[in-house]
Amino acid sequence: MIKSITLPGSYWRSHQGGGILLIVLATLAFASLDTATKHATTLAPVLMLLWFRYLFQAVVTFALRFPVQGKTLLRTPNPRFQALRGLLLLVTSACSFFGLQYLPVGEFTAMVMLSPLVATALAAWALKNSVSARRWVLMVIGLSGVLLVVRPGGQVFGWALLFPVLLVGTYASFQVLTSRLSGEENPYTTHFYTGLVGAVIMTPLAVFSWNTSALLNYWPWFVLVGFLGTFGHLMLIRAYMRASAVVLAPFLYTQIAFATLSGWVVFNHVPDALAWVGIAVIAASGVGNALLSAHETTKARILTGPASVLAARNPSA
């Protein structure tokens, strides 16, 4: 009896349980970021918000990690890949910041969560990973869910759908590249350079839409956007340091629930009936993809030992 009462608490204090809590905290931060961004873009220029979001990440990561790591924080064997990764995430963020001006948070997030499935397809092409027929079926199911959300006559059908479509492509590429770098780079070094690349690129661009009064009057929103983006990615790093990708991947889809809830609470937007079905289909296909990864990893461990487990990992991790 005592064991059954204390087991849940001990599980959440374990590495795996702690990783799950951290990944859910990350998805909450990302959903809150999208909600804050949607409002902040009505107060300040988008390019300034993007600039501050990445400047905040670079400065805070350096301040937190340089005292711990010293100059090793700045050492990278893949500077070109780091630059490309930073550019991909910047384009992803730009699509999000601009797209959220026109699209509801919940539906936007649901469409974006198709990225891991697209990353699987990209990895099959770029990294020559083998992709099973079941994964292709899950991808088709996920796409059918997106079509339910963005159908003609629905709440979100329009030209602004170009933003999440482009975002899915860039974010899937970002995930594949992250997987490629994961075994060679310190995650905090990658986090720092992602912020630095974004800040360097956005600094000259932000000048064209600079608004000092917006920065002075609405600086809490700038800080909130910067904090949520930085905090969310730090929680992702910490989560993947504590638990494997196949354990954590299904919990990434809690972001859809958080985003839909925040869209209702903050903007009084509720998806229509078919959009709800589409959101559920997208989430189900994503969770199915994650569970399939877990099954393949377990099977690889049993058949050929730990060496093949890395090959069986979902490239979207």
pLDDT in tens, 197-218: 999 999 999 999 999 999 999 9
Residue 132 has pLDDT above 80, yes or no: no
- Look at 63-67, 139-143, 245-249 and tell me which has the smallest mean pLDDT: 245-249
pTM value is 0.81
Average pLDDT over residues 289-308: 62
Query: Shortest CA distance to 100 belongs to which of 155, 46, 21?
Result: 46
Lowest mean pLDDT among 6-15, 78-87, 149-158: 6-15
Structure-model confidence comparison of residues 132 and 106, the more confident one: 106
Range of lowest pLDDT (39-43, 217-221, 280-284, 308-312):
308-312
Region 184-190 average pLDDT: 87
pLDDT at 8 over 60: no
What is the tens place of the pLDDT at every residue in 256-283? 888 888 988 888 888 778 878 888 888 8
Q: What is the pLDDT of residue 109?
A: 85
Residue 315: what pLDDT?
33
